[in-house]
Amino acid sequence: MSTLSAVPLAAPAVVQTRQPRHSALYLLVLAGVFLVVNALQVTLVTGNPRVWLGIATWIACTGIGWILTRRLLAGTDRLIFATCMVMSGWGLLMIYRLLPNFGDRQAVWLVVGTVAMLTALRFPDLLGRMRRYRYSILLGGTLLLLATILFGTNPSGFASAPALWLGTGSVFFQPSELLKIVLVVFLASYLAEQYPVLRSAALFERKRRLFLAPRIAGPVVLMWGICVVILVWQRDLGTAILFFALFVCLLYVASGSNWVLVAAAGLILAAGAVAYFLFDVVQLRVDIWVNPWIDPDNRAYQIVQSLMTFSAGGVFGQGIGLGYPSYVPVIHSDFMFAAIAEEFGFLGVITVIALLMVLVSRSFRIAALQQGKPYQTLLAVGFCSLIAVQSLMIMGGVVKIIPLTGVTLPFISYGGSSLVVSFFMVGILLRLSAVKG
């Protein structure tokens, strides 16, 4: 009988793609060595050994996360975990180098983020629950956002800075980050329910595009509109644009109609034109995008300094700790990409883009593998298009390809809320990657 059990029962019906477990491990080890070498250099240059606290935290989070993800759920995508860990480690290293006092805080957020990811991975019936209570979740998210208008503060303490944070003492949270998850969940579950109606042109005559009927589009546009109006009110325009892009991506995937993209392009141009004349913030951003050299010392200071860091970086960079990225105001959050460009050069920039590319392409593959399950597909598409669009917006803004919009570079920029929310999204993506067929 023992010989029988050794014979495989049956060949799997579907060709399984190889799990790149070993390559993900090699990637993490390589990144770990890279981080240690650079931490050594930071210590030598600045004489501040605090960076090792961050490196130790990162190694602990990565190691424990690596073991626990496999323990908690078999068959998850290891490469997604590896890439987001590499990015967060690199970000942490840069924060310790730029602002050593902020580093410990970000290290704590890294731990919280890893816990959030593991929670998303194993919380019983998380996806079903999120689907069932979508209206309550959305209501809660909107209330939080409204609370920001009433009680919002800005931890940096500038009077003119937008007050987008909630919190007391030394712990602050940005509700608009949390709203990303809420909105993806709401849109995915609602559109999945309306999927038959969205997809069937046969139900009515060809000419009437059904998804534009108020009964279908109404709740979505209303909910999304409330969020965007509040964000515009708060002058958090980057997040508003991000939500618009998310809405378009999900509607496009759910309906499969190219007209969604055409209409969205028209709408965003119109909205941009209106915003240009209504909001002086938008006007300023567009003006310094067209020509930053009219006022390089004042209004366009940030973007001009950012372009300087790119040219100072060259191909191989100045080396960590040896550049002067601190000339760029708030380098640690929105302009982290510029700091990497100066100290790691073109090579570093391309590597960041490659890391994001691996993360996003593998996430889209997870979405594609959820064939026949609209809710799961839309959830995966929503999360990975959020990460992709957000990275494109800030990277394009920093190199002045598009007007600058203040969003964080996922996993790399300084910011607790952003890091935790990104890790939570990755946790759900990992959870979806384990369920095949």
Partner 1 sequence: MNIELITLLRAISGVLLFTLLLALMWLVWRDLKATEQQVSSGRRPLGRLTVVEPVGKTFIPTGQIYPLLTVTTIGRSPGSTIMIDDSFVSSEHAVIAMRGGQWWLEDRGSRNGTQLNDMTIAQPVIVTNGDIVCVGQKRFRIELEH
Q: Is residue 195 near partner 1 by the rule CB under 8 A?
A: yes
Q: Which residues, numbered 122-181, are part of the site for partner 1 (CB under 8 A)?
A: none
Q: Is residue 320 near partner 1 by the rule CB under 8 A?
A: yes
Cα atoms in the 13 Å half-sphere on the side-chain side of 201: 7
What backbone phi and psi angles, to 5 degrees, belong to 186?
Answer: -65, -50
Q: Which C-beta is closer to partner 1: that of 23 or that of 291?
A: 23
Q: Name, in order, each residue with C-beta under 8 angstroms of 89's C-beta and a sequence gap of 6 or more.
A: 31, 32, 35, 58, 62
Distance CA 190, CA 219 (A): 9
166: which strand partners? 173
Residue from 21, 22, 25, 37 binding partner 1 (CB under 8 A): 37
What single-letter DSSP state applies at residue 326? G
Nearest distance, CB of residue 19 and partner 1, angstroms: 11
Taking contact as CB under 8 A, which single stretch among the options 20-28, 58-66, 232-240, 258-266 is the one that binds partner 1?
20-28
Structure tokens at 352: 């960041």
Distance CA 167, CA 170 (A): 8
Q: Which C-beta is closer to partner 1: that of 15 or that of 150?
A: 15
Q: Is residue 13 near partner 1 by the rule CB under 8 A?
A: yes
Q: Is residue 209 near partner 1 by the rule CB under 8 A?
A: no
Structure tokens at 257: 């109609």
Residue from 344, 383, 414, 423 binding partner 1 (CB under 8 A): 344
Locate all alpha helices (DSSP H) within 370-415, ordered by sequence: 374-398
Spacing of C-alpha 134 from chain mean position = 21
What backbone phi and psi angles, to 5 degrees, belong to 166?
Answer: -120, 140
Taking contact as CB under 8 A, which single stretch among the options 51-59, 306-314, 325-333, 356-364 is the one that binds partner 1?
356-364
Amino acid at 368: A
Distance CA 38, CA 90 (A): 10
What backbone phi and psi angles, to 5 degrees, belong to 172?
Answer: -125, 150
Q: Is residue 326 near partner 1 by the rule CB under 8 A?
A: no
Whether 219 contacts 139, CB under 8 Å:
no
**240, containing H or E segment:** helix 237-255
Taking contact as CB under 8 A, which single stretch among the options 188-196, 266-274, 280-288, 379-387 is the one that binds partner 1?
188-196
Nearest distance, CB of residue 364 and partner 1, angstroms: 10
Site string (83-122) toward partner 1, x via CB under 8 A: ---x------------------------------------
Q: Is residue 314 near partner 1 by the rule CB under 8 A?
A: no
Distance CA 213, CA 39 (A): 57
Structure tokens at 346: 């073109």
Q: What is the sign of the dihedral through the CA atoms of 111, 81, 381 and 13?
A: negative
Residue from 21, 23, 63, 151 binding partner 1 (CB under 8 A): 23
Nearest distance, CB of residue 45 and partner 1, angstroms: 7
Per DSSP, the three-state class of 48 is coil
What single-letter DSSP state applies at residue 205? -
Q: Which C-beta is closer to partner 1: that of 112 or that of 353?
A: 353
Q: Is residue 81 near partner 1 by the rule CB under 8 A?
A: no
Q: Which C-beta is closer to partner 1: that of 34 or that of 289?
A: 34
Taking contact as CB under 8 A, which single stretch among the options 288-296, 330-338, 360-368, 383-391 is the one that binds partner 1?
360-368
Q: Which C-beta is closer to partner 1: that of 197 or that of 264?
A: 197
Binding site for partner 1 (CB under 8 A): 13, 15, 17-18, 20, 23, 26-27, 30-31, 33-34, 37-38, 40-41, 44-45, 79, 86, 192, 195-197, 199-200, 202-203, 316-317, 319-320, 322, 344, 347-348, 350-351, 354-355, 357-358, 361-362, 365, 371-374
